Chains A and B, each alone.
Chain A
Amino acid sequence: MLPIATFHYLAVAAALFVLGVVGVLTRRSVLVSLLSIELILNAANLNLLAFSHMWGNLYGQVFAIFVTVIAAAQVIVGLGIAIAFLRSPNTSLRTSIGTSPDQT
């Protein structure tokens, strides 16, 4: 059994990233797509922290905090768009954003 090195964290981050990409590509609902984007951002965060740990400085941790801020802004805007469009009376818009029209 190998000792836990930077490589292991990068492998976990790569797995999370690929799962997030698959979720964005395959899922139909816009909310689940947003959740998958969160997975991608967290994989990037894990990479930043692993490299910060490897180099022995804190710049990666600072950038991880910035990534969290960007993720919060993205969630706010994305959920605003999703709610505004999914509740709009225009059915064709709802179809175009990714939910099937027979779900109303």
Chain B
Amino acid sequence: MSTTTLLFYLLAAAAIVSASFVISCHKALHSALSLMVTLLSLAGLYLMLYAPFVASVQVLVYAGAIMASFLIAIAIVKNVTTSEKSHSNPDWIIRLASACPLIAFFFYAFAKSRQLFPDRMVVAQGSNTQQIATLLYGEPGRIGPYTLTLEIAALLLLVAILGAIIMTAIIMTKNVQITD
């Protein structure tokens, strides 16, 4: 067994085991920390797929910033960190059974289409980050194919931040009664 194969199985096992901890831990804090392990091992898998920029974004933004905001939210909402009496819904067997057709579908699709996925290497022309930047921002004098999409994504982030501020700060301080 080569080192690459060993590394893949190690990272895949770490990702799947910690992902099962995410959905089985009783405390939300433990789930968040397990998800951090999942994200870091997925970053390793991204490196094996010759995607170093996405892997660094995964570590810095996903495992860093997003999970930090998750931990802050768990710290704010203290009652969620206390252990739940029954941590799952009472009809969890039905819900678990409803996910089984999904698993069966994945197995069927993989069994049918396995030979359709050959292995291929990325042909290296310039650095990975430079090529992604060319796709996102374009070259001098010419915008890239995804420049407009990038601007829309930036606008979406701005709107999301404003919405979060309105929902938490303004609604909480004015103590608005929201009725359902």
Mark A residues whose CB is within 8 Å of B: 1, 3-12, 14-23, 25-29, 31-32, 34-36, 38-39, 42, 45-46, 49-50, 52-59, 61-62, 64-66, 68-77, 79-90, 92-93, 96, 99-100, 102-104
Contacts and interface: CB of A to CB of B under 8 A. Distances in A.
A27 B51 contact: no
Nearest to B7: A4
Contacts of A26: 23, 88-89, 92, 95-96
What's the dominant secondary structure at chain B's contact region?
helix
A72 B58 CA distance: 11
Nearest to A74: B160
A80 B69 CA distance: 10
A51 B123 CA distance: 14
Interface in B71-115: 73-74, 76-77, 79-80, 82, 84-89, 92, 95-96, 98-99, 102-103, 106, 110, 114
Interface residues of B, number: 89
